[in-house]
């Protein structure tokens, strides 16, 4: 099979976005998104303050076939011209993963096309190569609702986790803080917007893990500190909510800055900076402007390129899954069989040990 130029159909259903996309990878490794269709379930889950797994799975079932058809039509590529099917098979909500996998397997079986189960985190990890043609190795900060990790990306399928959260993921901390302050769901954009009206330094919150020699993260204590301040200030005015949001965001960015500064130094000692290596940030929280600005400043100071994919490719999407499939296929990695099972937990670094925060089940892989 000629794997120089590839057109991959991608499917993503790991959480509360249903998505399908077609991506082309040229012989020289340049990627082009031919279509990228995403249907968000935010309105469906907003009343519950978070994602309801059963509702998410049912929504995926009701719309996925239509979205696949739309993605193919928009791309101008017939299903017979697709080279392979790439589907998120983990980590994520098991019901949603099952919907995507069953759909992808059915398409692969009906068309006799190769099938690949893609790690959702690998999709995020490789997106920068789709948008900016980044060379290996590079340093990745993955910040999302379910994951906060520092990862050395050495190659396709070759990852070394340097740090992870010992309790809450950063996106989860944003959501819980927003809920505590009555801002609604999703919390990240709500907190960021409120922080724009905040008065600097009215509240001072701790900076988690600052100067800790490990490269791990912790946000549960920060969330508790916000709650304690909010209780002391009750009833909360709109200005006080804005001030607390600003204080929370300042603490978060300071913690990320501290962790990433150490990671960049470690990378520099191991690989040098002569080739202007890249610091890549990915995941839904990477859309936060304050976080991007802080990380870009830190990367520039350390002699690194800073790369943040556009916001629509930071949140969950199928283009990144299709691209990861194309990268894996081009690298000659094996396809999957149609008995592949979904995995609710699936670490990028298979050798990494799950950290115990609130318990192994609560630790993020």
Report yes or no on 355 lying in a domain: no
C-alpha to C-alpha distance for 311 and 159, rounded to whole angstroms: 24
Q: Are strands 138-143 and 148-155 parallel, antiparallel or unpaired?
A: antiparallel
- A 10 A CB-CB count for 213 gives 7
Q: What is the mean pLDDT of residues 317-326?
A: 98
Q: What is the pLDDT of residue 356?
A: 52
> pLDDT per residue over 158-200, tens digit each?
999 999 999 999 999 999 999 999 998 889 999 999 999 999 9
pLDDT score of 363 more than 50: no
Report yes or no on 46 lying in a domain: yes
* pLDDT band of 50, cuts 50, 70, 90: confident
> pLDDT per residue over 232-242, tens digit each?
999 999 999 99
Instruction: Write down the mean pLDDT value for the chain.
Output: 92
Report yes or no on 71 lying in a domain: yes
On the question of a cis peptide bond just before residue 341, with omega within 30 degrees of 0, the verdict is no
- A 10 A CB-CB count for 332 gives 8
Q: Are residues 228 and 265 in the same domain?
A: yes
Report yes or no on 61 lying in a domain: yes
Task: Report pTM.
Answer: 0.91
Helices 120-132 and 319-330 meet at what angle, rounded to 10?
80
Q: What is the pLDDT of residue 362?
A: 39
C-alpha to C-alpha distance for 344 and 171, rounded to whole angstroms: 18
Give the chain's length: 365
Q: What is the mean pLDDT of residues 338-365?
A: 70
- Number of domains observed in the structure of the chain: 2
C-alpha to C-alpha distance for 325 and 335, rounded to whole angstroms: 9
Which of 69, 60, 95, 108 is CA-nearest to residue 325? 108
Report yes or no on 357 lying in a domain: no
DSSP 275: T
On the question of a cis peptide bond just before residue 137, with omega within 30 degrees of 0, the verdict is yes
Q: What is the mean pLDDT of residues 59-83?
A: 95
Q: Please give the share of the chain, as a percent, with pLDDT higher than 90.
A: 79
Q: What is the mean pLDDT of residues 44-70?
A: 84
Q: What is the pLDDT of residue 360?
A: 36
- The domain that holds 201 is classified in CATH as 3.30.420.40
pLDDT score of 357 more than 80: no
Q: What is the pLDDT of residue 2?
A: 41
> pLDDT per residue over 4-47, tens digit each?
599 999 999 998 889 999 999 999 999 999 999 998 877 777 76
| Helices first, then strands: H and E counts in the chain | 11, 10
Q: In which domain, by residue range, is 114 found? A: 6-129+312-330
Q: Are residues 146 and 259 in the same domain?
A: yes
Q: What is the pLDDT of residue 121?
A: 94
Q: Please give the share of the chain, as a percent, with pLDDT higher than 70.
A: 95
Q: Are residues 216 and 182 in the same domain?
A: yes
Q: What is the pLDDT of residue 57?
A: 82
Answer whether 165's CB lies under 8 Å from 218's CB. Answer: yes
Report yes or no on 345 lying in a domain: no
């Amino acid at each position: 099979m000629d794997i120089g130029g590839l057109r991959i159909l991608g499917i993503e259903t790991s959480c509360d976005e249903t998505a399908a996309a077609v991506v082309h990878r040229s012989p020289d490794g340049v990627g082009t998104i031919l279509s990228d269709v995403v249907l968000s379930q935010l309105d469906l889950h907003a009343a519950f303050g978070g994602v309801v797994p059963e509702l998410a799975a049912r929504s995926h079932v009701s719309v996925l076939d239509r979205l696949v058809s739309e993605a193919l039509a928009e791309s101008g590529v017939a299903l017979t011209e697709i080279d392979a099917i790439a589907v998120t098979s983990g980590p994520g909500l098991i019901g949603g993963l099952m919907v995507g996998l069953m759909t992808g397997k059915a398409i692969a079986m009906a068309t006799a096309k190769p099938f690949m189960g893609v790690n959702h985190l690998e999709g995020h990890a490789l997106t920068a190569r789709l948008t900016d043609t980044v060379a290996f190795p590079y340093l990745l900060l993955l910040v999302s609702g379910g994951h906060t990790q520092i990862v050395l990306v050495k190659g396709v399928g070759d990852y070394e986790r340097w740090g992870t959260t010992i309790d809450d993921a950063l996106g989860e901390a944003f959501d819980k803080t927003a809920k505590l302050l009555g801002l609604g769901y999703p919390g990240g954009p709500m907190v960021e917007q409120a922080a724009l009206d905040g008065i600097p330094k009215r509240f001072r919150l701790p900076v988690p893990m600052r100067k800790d020699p490990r490269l791990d993260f912790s946000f549960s204590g920060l969330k508790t500190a916000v709650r304690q301040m909010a209780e002391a200030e009750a009833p909360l005015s709109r200005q006080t909510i804005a001030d607390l949001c600003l204080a929370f965001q300042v603490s978060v960015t300071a913690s990320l800055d501290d962790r990433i500064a150490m990671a960049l130094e470690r990378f520099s000692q191991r690989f040098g900076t002569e080739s202007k290596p890249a610091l890549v940030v990915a995941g839904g929280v990477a859309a936060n402007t304050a976080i991007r600005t802080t990380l870009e400043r830190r990367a520039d100071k350390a002699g690194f390129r800073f790369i943040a994919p556009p916001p629509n490719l930071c949140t969950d999407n199928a283009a990144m899954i299709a691209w990861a499939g194309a990268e894996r296929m081009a690298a000659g990695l094996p396809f999957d069989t149609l008995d592949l099972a979904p995995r609710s937990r699936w670490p990028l670094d298979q050798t990494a040990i799950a950290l115990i925060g609130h318990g192994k089940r609560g630790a993020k892989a």
